[in-house]
Amino acid sequence: MSAPTITLPADSPPMKAESKALDFYYGNFKALKRVSMPVYEHKVTALIGPSGCGKSTFLRCFNRMHDLYPGNRYDGTIQLLPDAVNLLDPGVDPIEVRMRISMVFQKPNPFPKSIYENVAYGLRVRGEKSRTYLDDKVEAALKGAAIWEEVKDRLDEVATNLSGGQQQRLCIARALATDPEMLLFDEPTSALDPIATGSIEELINELKDKVSILIVTHNMQQAARVSDFVGYMYLGEMIEFGDTKEIFMKPKRRETEDYITGRFG
């Protein structure tokens, strides 16, 4: 195992989160090996790598999704800045982590409830009852996710009747409604057609002004289009991290180059 090649930009933007020497175990299987990587504020950071390299596993550490299943174990830290709280600290409640960091999943997963209730759910969980406040937040989130015009006249309809691309934008609205500090995307376009994919990518580009984004993608073109920074992972290790242009134009590591040029993976 050789040390990862981490190239930090010269004029480093402020950091939003930082993973340090993160190990993760599914039972006895070590899925992540000393993964270290920064996530910069108001930037899009992409995780790429072949299937099974641990990029989704890594992403799901950021909102403690692994806590839902028995036998999973973290070692190492993920600090959320500016308060430098370690998200993986057993003393930190995973619910608190998920209230601060939202997630959008691979398969659009709206609840079989109304469009309105889908977006309002994160706020309802926080005990929000004021109808006018909820109305405002729902509208703002739907506008933020570029789906307001399509659904404003049918907020009471069941969300699962929307098209796949609309469902995914609704899920983004649901994630945005609670004003998260960070947004996690787990291959958000892999179940969508090219047009819907285009609109989601455009949206990710707009969202980074408001929120720091970490995205897993199996599609290198997508990583090149949407991200500012890229981490290449292989077999549970972070092989190389750096500026997206640098990584794609002149990667420092041979493995990264092989993957990017399609000679491998």
Partner 1 sequence: MAAGRTLGAQQMRALIRKHKRLDALFGLLGLLALMVGVLTLAALFAGMAIDGIPRLTGDFFTSFPSRRAGQAGILSAWVGSILVMLVTAFFAVPVGIYGAIYLEEYARKNWFTDVIEINITNLAGVPSIVYGLLALGLFVYTFGLGQSILSAGLTLALLILPIVIVTTREALRAIPVHVREGAYACGASQWQVVHDHLLPYGLPGILTGVIIGMARAIGETAPIITIGALTFIAFLPPVPFSGEPPAGVLDWLFSPFTVMPIQIFNWTSRPDPAFHQNAAAASFVLVFMTLGMNGLAIWLRYRLRKNIKW
Rounded to the nearest whole angstrom, what is the least distance from the CB of residue 31 to partner 1 in the complex? 17
Per CB under 8 A, 121 contacts partner 1: yes
Binding mask 200-239 for partner 1 (x = CB under 8 A): ----------------------------------------
Per CB under 8 A, 95 contacts partner 1: yes
Q: Which residue has the tokens 């959320």?
A: 80
- Residue 157 or 206: which CB sits closer to partner 1? 157
Rounded to the nearest whole angstrom, what is the least distance from the CB of residue 15 to partner 1 in the complex? 23
Q: In what order do the strands lie in the sheet with 29-40?
A: 29-40, 15-26, 72-80, 85-86
Number of residues that bind partner 1 (CB under 8 A): 29
Rounded to the nearest whole angstrom, what is the least distance from the CB of residue 236 to partner 1 in the complex? 22
**Segment contacting partner 1 (CB under 8 A): 4-12, 117-125, 211-219, 251-259?**
117-125
Contact residue for partner 1 among 85, 140, 146, 158 (CB under 8 A):
158
Backbone angles phi, psi at 11, to 5 degrees: -95, 75
Contact residue for partner 1 among 17, 35, 39, 65 (CB under 8 A):
65
- Residue 86 or 109: which CB sits closer to partner 1? 109
Rounded to the nearest whole angstrom, what is the least distance from the CB of residue 125 to partner 1 in the complex? 5
Contact residue for partner 1 among 29, 126, 129, 263 (CB under 8 A):
126
Q: CA 45: distance to chain centroid?
A: 9
Rounded to the nearest whole angstrom, what is the least distance from the CB of residue 249 to partner 1 in the complex? 35
Contact residue for partner 1 among 85, 99, 140, 235 (CB under 8 A):
99
**Segment contacting partner 1 (CB under 8 A): 18-26, 27-35, 157-165, 217-225?**
157-165
Per CB under 8 A, 140 contacts partner 1: no
- Print the SS3 string covering the chain: CCCCEECCCCCCCCEEEEEEEEEEEECCEEEEEEEEEEEECCCEEEEECCCCCCHHHHHHHCCCHHHHCCCEEEEEEEEECCCCEECCCCCCCHHHHHHHEEEECCCCCCCCCEHHHHHHHHHHHCCCCCHHHHHHHHHHHHHHCCCHHHHCCCCCCEHHHCCHHHHHHHHHHHHHCCCCCEEEEECCCCCCCHHHHHHHHHHHHHHCCCCEEEEECCCHHHHHHHCCEEEEEECCEEEEEEEHHHHHHCCCCHHHHHHHCCCCC
Contact residue for partner 1 among 109, 190, 205, 219 (CB under 8 A):
109
Residue 174, CB-side half-sphere exposure with 13 Å CA sphere: 27
Cis-peptide, bond into residue 82, ω within 30° of zero: yes
Per CB under 8 A, 137 contacts partner 1: no
**Residues near partner 1 (CB under 8 A):** 63, 65, 68, 70, 95-96, 98-99, 102-103, 105-107, 109-112, 121-122, 124-126, 158, 160-161, 171, 174-175, 178
